[in-house]
Structure 1
Amino acid sequence: MAQTHEWMFYEVMWRTWAGRHPYPVPWWLQQAFRRWSDDFDGGLFESKEAALASNALYRYWHMTGVKDHRQEVLVGQAGEVEPVYDTYALVHFLFEPGAGLLQLPQLGGEVTQELADGDLPVVVTTYRSPSGVEVVRRTLGTTVGARQRALVLDRLAVRSADGGAHEGWLCTGVVPAGPSGFQRHDRAGNTVADRRLIFLRWLPGEQRVEANTGMGPCFDTAPAYAGVYGNPDGSMDPETYLVRNPFHDLANGGKLGGAEEAVDRVAGLCTAVFAWPYKVGGRSPEFTLDMRLPVDDFRGDLAELRGTPADELEAANRAFWEGKLRGEGTRFTLPPPVAHLPELFRTSRAQLLILSDHGQIHPGPTVYDSFWIRDSSVEATACALAGDTGLAERQLGTHHPGAFNLGRGRIGPCAEYGFYGGSHERNDREWDSNGEALWAIGRFDRVRGPAAAFGARLFTPYVIDGARWLRDNRDELGLLHSGWSAEHLGEADKPHYWDDLWGLAGLYESARLAERLGESGAAAELWAAFDDLKRATAASIRWVLGEQRRRGEWQTYIPTGPADVGRLDSTMIGALAYFHPTRLYMGAKLGDDLDAAFRHTLDTIWARFVTGGFRHNAAWNAYAPYLGQQLAHALLLIGDTERADRLLAWTVAEGSATVSRADGAPDRWQATLGAWNEQHAYPIASDFREVPSRPWYMGDMPHGWAAAENILLLRDTLFFEADEDADPHLYVAPGVRPHWVPQGESVSVSPAPTVFGTPFGYELRHAADARKVTIDVTAAPRHVRYVYPCRFGEVRAARADGRPLPVTGNDVQAPAGTRRLEVEYA
């Protein structure tokens, strides 16, 4: 049953939209109304009203924020700004009193969006009204004062778009519904802060708004007009809200009510509008307005909030992000056909830095704004390889041990002691977490090198006892127990090979760490545990494959787990972990026959579940961008770079997806800016040509795991390490396709972290007219050889520092210490 405020929100928004009443209806509501269905996810929500208020279907928005700060800021497709844990959103629009014309970006005109300079976390929204006025809005998260407390700086500039003179009012509105939704309330108990605006007050002497018990926006310049609206008599009639709001008053009377305080104890739909007269054109090129949205608590300290001029705040913010993204960490340049990829790499780095809450990396800004071992292990590894090693070290050295259980109780069938996990892992029985934590710790120890002694400091108890937990907490077949390690795998009452593959990766890294530390006894113990889990996993997969053959299945594929024999659906995507990130395929660690079966599984996934991107109909009924990037990564690692490149191109294109405003309309919304959801809705991917017949569910955007996968895929496309412990070597430019590097163009990678503990960098130049590739190594680990898989044509000759090399296929083998590699191809 819907709660009162959910029902009222549903009725008011639907009637507003259907009746074309003036109101800044956000993008996500417009999409829901565009193909309305009374069907909803009854497993998650109690009513269609709750599902709508929670925005279950179109969780698309842009994000800005402050590195390492708890609260992110969302920006909607029309420029609406929503500090995640505050109770309001801030919109902007234009009003022309002479003509009585109300111009809302949500309802008409041209709206475009971009990130500043293509990759900085500053969202720039440009609105060109039908009457020829342009409003440019720059929204950024920054800090102010000696204590570096966080705020949003929101800067608006009004200009003439047609060269003529214009005058009117620039207006901002405080509204309850933001880019993420109105009020999240589901059966699982997931909530963000209560977003109902029950109390709203304008304080003209302080030029600021109070929203419920918190601070709202503060204006650097006082408005000329103001009006605050609510539901003071407690009306239960939705029609009351359609006429008792500032947008109705402006459209129908040309003025605001002037009230400074309002309440709405029924639905929490209080609103307010503030207006500044402007004249632009001729000698007045623009009118500007700066607003400050406090993210930290500035109550009683307005002087600090306002103490630094807006120009200085924006300049300092730009200097920080330019220095971080362009002056530090892994950097690379690519030729014009793929010059957008380094920009996307930097955008993904910024997203992870913003999603880090005091060093604890979270996979999303709203419903996923909490700590998962699984996501954070991959995210921390991506940060380490991108050069953000300080963040990775805090994540793995502080927050992972903080989730290590020391109690002596039980978690379902498993011991509590030695298990990595907080509430998510414990409640959902996410048995993959130990393998992921140990894998990430081991990999980061390699990146940091022996002098840092990272693994030595964590080995007891966090590595050795975490590995023993994997040894001692398995079912009668020797596999990890049934659980819901990741929702893309299938049901929680079944075991999943994903857990076992991660367990093997964690045990492998733990054993290698013990060897590096000289702990021979512990190493022997850990190798025995690895061998035992390997035996059980391999035996189970062989039994499944045999049973599928016995049943007449002609395709070779490894399903999600041993309880899913013959399950030919997209949950088999869990098999990707064998390739990436675990690297178990190196050395065919489960045996040659199973290595072949995993490779055939990639072919089955491609044939059945890839149409542009990876379609996850079995679990999500949506595209899965980060799983598609995992698939691309697996294909890259086995040398299938043509299909990997196709997946990468599709995913990158969807990272800048646009959607038409209405069926057949030429003007479009910018739905994404270099970010992806956990699930990418079919309607958005197809511009509403495909609308599923059953409900789907959308996770946060940007999704931290997706950002991490993008970083890892692009980095490994340029180079990746192999066989670190026996025959260490580097694959150079393994995913660089011929169309990436035309005649005379080059690829360069600045010295970047490696799991060898020493940076690697190179420059590749392509002389297409001479059919020659030259690679100059600019930084390299010692005693590491190179493999260059030439993608341009059949290799005819190769030289390392002028010395001829044997030619045996297109994988050119160069010895350690090579500084220049020259390759000629047919």
Structure 2
Amino acid sequence: MAQTHEWMFYEVMWRGWAGRDRVPYPVPWWAQQAFRRWSDDFDSGTYESKEAAFASNALYRYWHLVGVKDHRQESLIGQAGEIEPVYDAYCLSFFLHDPATGTLRLPQLAAGGKVEQRWEAPHLPVVLTTFRTPEDVEFVQRTFAAPVGPRQRDLVVSRVTVGSPTGRLREGLLCAAVLPAGPSGFQRHDRGGGGRGSDRRLTFLRHLPDERRVETSTGWGPVFDTAPEQFGVYGNPDFSFDPDTYLTRGPFHDLVVGGKLNGALQAQDQVAGLCSAVFGWPFRVVEDEVFEIAVRLPVDVFNGPGDLAELRATPTAELEGVNREFWSAKLLREGMQPELPRPVAHLADLFRQARSQLLILSDHGEIHPGPTVYDSFWIRDSSVEATACSLVGDTTLAERQLGTHYPLRFNRGTGRVGPCAEYGFYGGPHEKDDREWDSNGQALWAIGRFDRTRGRRAAFGARLYVPYVLDAARWIRDNRDPYGLLHSGWSAEHLGERDKPHYWDDLWGLAGLYEAARLAERIGAPEVPELWGAFDDLKRATGDSVRWVLSEQRRRGAWETYIPTGPADVGRRDSTMIGTAAYFHPLRLHMGSKLGDDIDLAARHTLDTMYAHFVTGGFRHDAAWSAYGPYLTLQLAHAYLLAGNPERMDALLGWTVGAGFPTVAGRTVALGAWNEQHAYPVASDFGEVPYPRWYMGDIPHGWAAAEYLLLIRDILFFEADEDRDRHLYIAPGVRPHWVPGGARVGVDAAPTLFGSPFGYRLGHDPAERTVTVEITQAPQGVRFVYPCAFGEVRSVSADGRELPVTGRDVRVPAGTRWFSVTYA
């Protein structure tokens, strides 16, 4: 049964939307999509009522994000420029009012005018929202986050300028609205107890004119640089249970009907938490004139007059300049710098944007996979995120995450976690409650890979070896089922049911044990034979199980070869088999056929089976989500790159890039970011609205951002056989159409698993059918392989001497500084 405030919110949104032609109401974009194709079917396993699901915004979690690197709280930006500080119970939105006619122009509504949004630059997390009315009045809203004052506390700044694009005299009222509902929803109330920062009810609202600021239920709200000339604060003083109260006695009704606000300073609403307020500044502009206001939203905790003075002390232009310089230095001058030619230059732009998203999602060194319901620390997600950060140059963040926060998740207790020992298990509440048995393999894998990247002199792995590597490896050895596999659990919700075992866990366990044994070798630890013994034992158990499943499927008449999600799912040909992609990426168990040639071949066939049945542009995950999986699509693309099929990699990458900029009814609803699940309606502009319910994760999704960084990096180069015949593939995923004549591909200052950076420049001359590669940086003793994608190789010259031709893979000795390839 719906709670009162949930029912009331649903009714106010619906009635506001239905009556928008009479009195416009700023219904958020996500609510409009729900009303566009409403269904009473909802996830009753999660929510108690359709109103609770609606108030939680379970279906359309699309927005933009700004924030300060390593700070706790991010802020969301909606499709109409709405600003939602995640853990504060309010949302700020701007609109225009013409007092002469009573006309309201709300950017939320199509009839209000045209809205366009973009990032100021790919490396700058500054959202520009431009709103132009039918009367040719335009406001431009610049929203960014910045630290302020000696303690570098976080705030969001929105600078709004109003102008007349045609140069004709325009006047009216620029308004700012404080409302409870934001891009993420109204209140997440589910059977599991809700989510962090989920309650956005505004039960109290107060305007303090002398301080030019607003107080909300949870603390300080917006602070105005310039005092508004009009204001009104609205609540529910009569404790009415009639939803129309909020529409007929609200600020938008007052402006349309009476032309002015109520002038109240304070309001309460103890019924539904739907307090609201509007503040207005008159403007008069002509030709090149603009009218500007600035609003500051305190994100960190501010209290008292001293904090207010500190929050206001730095001019907005200076705050914007500091923000610009920080991100320019971080993303343009530090870390890996990909160079891609014009046909694919957008891939490099998105690369820098994904870097910024991971840095913003880092909370004091913990990378969280999302800003709201996923604003927490998972070993699984963070292992990929930290590895991505380390390999693109954000080394300090990766080191803090793996070296500080992983040991804090290492359990030392003597109890039990389900069928397993507590001691030696990596995990907090998520991993324990859901039996995420993949976490130890992920922790060991990430620690081992980072130790390689940092190099021997850093001794990162040596400092963590006892107990965080050795005892975690022993946990994998000692906590397995009678068949030698890891127990049933729910390591990732895309794998299937939690009461079954999944090969995903075993593959991660193998990769973790492999890295643990190699680390032990590098530091000369005496447990090397013990760790290799644990690896071999899990290898035997996993290999035997997979071979049994494959033979049983053949016995039952299956004509396609595929490895299902686990041994309890023989014959299950559905999208949960995506877990097998991890065999290639990120675990690279195919290098050296670590499970045997037969399983290696079966894993390759599994990729093709998935592609044939579950890819329509992107990877469709109907078995668990009834939605596209952006990060799963990137995993599959990466697996194809490493398995030697760059054509399919390119196709999957192209779809994923497009999915980061979905358009619905002509409005771009994301600016280069991905959810965990990409809804079919949004992906198809509502051409496909499935009957089964679906659920949306946060955006941006940190795991997806990390997968994108890793894929672009490995398209440009990747390492192979790090422990024996060390070599490096140059441009293995660069497609011929990426490099027109005279264009260059390259990378600078790219960290490697060999412990020192790599850089190169590749040029293409199609007239001469020649590719030239200049090595600008390289680890010592590492040879190179260039898989020529342009045609059959005819000749190779390296540093002035001819090399033998060996097919399309051009093999170049270590130490080479320049080589040239001619092709047919």
Query: CA separation in 1, counterparts of 2:670 and 2:792?
Result: 40
Residue 315 (1) aligns with residue 313 (2)? no
- Retained in 2: the 8 A contact 1:93–1:104? yes
- Retained in 1: the 8 A contact 2:160–2:294? yes
Measured after TM superposition, the shift of residue 120 of structure 1 is: 1.1
Tell me the equivalent position of 2:384.
378
Query: CA separation in 2, counterparts of 1:741 and 1:191?
Result: 47
Measured after TM superposition, the shift of residue 716 of structure 1 is: 0.3
- Retained in 1: the 8 A contact 2:367–2:377? yes
Query: CA separation in 2, counterparts of 1:579 and 1:120?
Result: 33
Residues 470-512 of structure 1 deviation map (CA, whole Å, 9 limit, x = unaligned): 0000000000000000000000000000000000000000000
Would you identify which runs of 4 or more consecutive aligned residues in structure 1 move more than 4 Å? none
Query: CA separation in 2, counterparts of 1:605 and 1:165?
Result: 60
Q: Which of 412, 415, 434 does residue 406 from structure 1 map onto?
A: 412
Tell me the equivalent position of 1:279.
284
Matches within 5 A, 1:531-542: 531-542=536-547
Residue 817 (1) aligns with residue 822 (2)? no
Query: CA separation in 2, counterparts of 1:649 and 1:800?
Result: 34
Matches within 5 A, 1:275-354: 275-282=280-287, 285-300=289-304, 301-354=307-360
Tell me the equivalent position of 2:633.
628
- Retained in 2: the 8 A contact 1:751–1:778? no
Residue 447 (1) aligns with residue 453 (2)? yes
Q: Which of 57, 60, 70 does residue 59 from structure 2 map onto?
A: 57
Query: CA separation in 2, counterparts of 1:776 and 1:102?
Result: 60
Query: Which residue identity lines up with residue 264 of structure 2 in the other structure?
Result: A
Tell me the equivalent position of 2:75.
73
Q: Which of 149, 161, 164 does residue 153 from structure 2 map onto?
A: 149
Residue 212 (1) aligns with residue 217 (2)? yes
Tell me the equivalent position of 2:8.
8
1:563 counterpart SS class: helix
Matches within 5 A, 1:91-170: 91-107=93-109, 108-170=112-174
Query: CA separation in 1, counterparts of 2:656 and 2:749?
Result: 27
Query: CA separation in 1, counterparts of 2:746 and 2:321?
Result: 29
Query: CA separation in 1, counterparts of 2:488 and 2:209?
Result: 60
Residue 84 (1) aligns with residue 90 (2)? no
Query: CA separation in 2, counterparts of 1:403 and 1:317?
Result: 33
Measured after TM superposition, the shift of residue 190 of structure 1 is: 2.8
Tell me the equivalent position of 1:185.
189
Measured after TM superposition, the shift of residue 815 of structure 1 is: 0.5
Normalising by structure 2, what TM-score? 0.99
Tell me the equivalent position of 1:364.
370
Residue 265 (1) aligns with residue 263 (2)? no
Query: CA separation in 1, counterparts of 2:373 and 2:724?
Result: 43
Query: CA separation in 2, counterparts of 1:291 and 1:505?
Result: 50
Query: CA separation in 2, counterparts of 1:122 and 1:197?
Result: 27
Q: Which of 701, 712, 715 does residue 713 from structure 2 map onto?
A: 715
Query: CA separation in 1, counterparts of 2:32 and 2:539?
Result: 51
Measured after TM superposition, the shift of residue 161 of structure 1 is: 2.0
Tell me the equivalent position of 1:664.
none
Query: Which residue identity lines up with residue 738 of structure 2 in the other structure?
Result: W
- Retained in 1: the 8 A contact 2:361–2:369? yes
Query: CA separation in 1, counterparts of 2:375 and 2:757?
Result: 33
Matches within 5 A, 1:732-747: 732-747=730-745
- Retained in 1: the 8 A contact 2:385–2:702? yes
2:493 counterpart SS class: coil
- Retained in 1: the 8 A contact 2:123–2:332? no
1:231 counterpart SS class: coil
- Retained in 1: the 8 A contact 2:123–2:328? no
Tell me the equivalent position of 1:768.
766
- Retained in 2: the 8 A contact 1:559–1:565? yes
Tell me the equivalent position of 2:788.
790
Query: Which residue identity lines up with residue 103 of structure 1 in the other structure?
Result: R
Query: Which residue identity lines up with residue 550 of structure 2 in the other structure?
Result: L
Identity of counterpart residues, as a percentage?
A: 71
Q: Which of 507, 532, 542 does residue 527 from structure 1 map onto?
A: 532
Tell me the equivalent position of 2:661.
656
- Retained in 1: the 8 A contact 2:196–2:375? no
Query: CA separation in 2, counterparts of 1:280 and 1:795?
Result: 65
Matches within 5 A, 1:350-749: 350-519=356-525, 521-660=526-665, 668-749=666-747
Measured after TM superposition, the shift of residue 751 of structure 1 is: 2.1
Query: CA separation in 2, counterparts of 1:423 and 1:261?
Result: 41
Tell me the equivalent position of 1:778.
776
- Retained in 1: the 8 A contact 2:425–2:472? yes
Query: Which residue identity lines up with residue 333 of structure 1 in the other structure?
Result: E
Query: CA separation in 2, counterparts of 1:118 and 1:375?
Result: 24
Query: Which residue identity lines up with residue 19 of structure 1 in the other structure?
Result: G
The CA RMSD measured in Å over matched residues stands at 0.7
Measured after TM superposition, the shift of residue 240 of structure 1 is: 1.2
Deviates more, 1:433-442 or 1:284-293: 284-293
Measured after TM superposition, the shift of residue 165 of structure 1 is: 1.1
1:205 counterpart SS class: helix
Tell me the equivalent position of 1:252.
257
Check 1:485–1:546 CA distance in 2 against 1; reply closer, same or farther (3 A cut): same
Residues 454-480 of structure 1 deviation map (CA, whole Å, 9 limit, x = unaligned): 000000000000000000000000000
Measured after TM superposition, the shift of residue 285 of structure 1 is: 1.2
Measured after TM superposition, the shift of residue 253 of structure 1 is: 1.1
Unaligned runs of 5+ in 2: none
Query: CA separation in 2, counterparts of 1:548 and 1:162?
Result: 70
Measured after TM superposition, the shift of residue 657 of structure 1 is: 1.3
- Retained in 2: the 8 A contact 1:133–1:159? yes
Aligned length: 817
Measured after TM superposition, the shift of residue 141 of structure 1 is: 0.7
Query: Which residue identity lines up with residue 617 of structure 1 in the other structure?
Result: D
- Retained in 1: the 8 A contact 2:123–2:327? no
Query: CA separation in 1, counterparts of 2:572 and 2:137?
Result: 58
- Retained in 2: the 8 A contact 1:183–1:192? no
Query: Which residue identity lines up with residue 262 of structure 1 in the other structure?
Result: A
Residues 43-83 of structure 1 deviation map (CA, whole Å, 9 limit, x = unaligned): 11110000000000000000000000000000000000000
Query: Which residue identity lines up with residue 305 of structure 1 in the other structure?
Result: L
Query: CA separation in 1, counterparts of 2:535 and 2:151?
Result: 49
Measured after TM superposition, the shift of residue 805 of structure 1 is: 1.2
Residues 659-686 of structure 1 deviation map (CA, whole Å, 9 limit, x = unaligned): 10xxxxxxx2211111000000000000
Query: CA separation in 1, counterparts of 2:191 and 2:784?
Result: 54
2:124 counterpart SS class: coil
1:313 counterpart SS class: helix
1:822 counterpart SS class: strand
Query: CA separation in 2, counterparts of 1:473 and 1:3?
Result: 44
1:116 counterpart SS class: strand
Unaligned runs of 5+ in 1: 661-667
Query: Which residue identity lines up with residue 800 of structure 2 in the other structure?
Result: G
Measured after TM superposition, the shift of residue 163 of structure 1 is: 2.2
Measured after TM superposition, the shift of residue 213 of structure 1 is: 3.8
2:162 counterpart SS class: strand
Measured after TM superposition, the shift of residue 560 of structure 1 is: 0.1
Measured after TM superposition, the shift of residue 297 of structure 1 is: 1.3
